[in-house]
Amino acid sequence: MKFLKIAVPFCLLAGLAAAQDRLPPKVVRVVGTAEVKVVPDRAVIEIGVEKQDPNASVAKHAEDAAARRILSALRGNGIDDKDIQTTFLSLQP
């Protein structure tokens, strides 16, 4: 038993001493960042028109007139027709 009390600390100390002899692995670490600044060349604008009327035909014509005014304003500000599109149309009772 006395031998065990002496042998265990010696084994632990020998292990610690061996661990300290090892040099840490050689590592190269590289960190970089970049920033790019450019002038924006595209904007996405979503516009909605909603009209309500008991008569579907009246509501549709009112919506069409409002949409025409919006499209006219866009064209008047230099937006080409190829850059304008309709994505959704819904008519509900």
The answer to whether residue 78 sits within a structural domain is: yes
For residue 69, pLDDT over 90 is answered with yes
Q: How confident is the model at residue 1 (pLDDT cuts 50, 70, 90)?
A: low
The answer to whether residue 25 sits within a structural domain is: no
Average pLDDT of span 59-80: 91
Average pLDDT of span 74-87: 89
Average pLDDT of span 38-46: 86
Q: How far apart are the first and last CA of the chain?
A: 94
The answer to whether residue 81 sits within a structural domain is: yes
For residue 50, pLDDT over 80 is answered with yes
For residue 91, pLDDT over 80 is answered with no
Q: How far apart are CA 25 and CA 21, in angstroms?
A: 12
Structure tokens given for 18: 């061996």
Average pLDDT of span 37-57: 87
Q: Which domain holds residue 57?
A: 45-93
The answer to whether residue 35 sits within a structural domain is: no
Cα dihedral 3, 6, 11, 13, rounded to 10, equals -170
Count structural domains, the chain. Answer: 1
Q: How confident is the model at residue 28 (pLDDT cuts 50, 70, 90)?
A: confident
> What does the mean pLDDT of the chain come to?
81
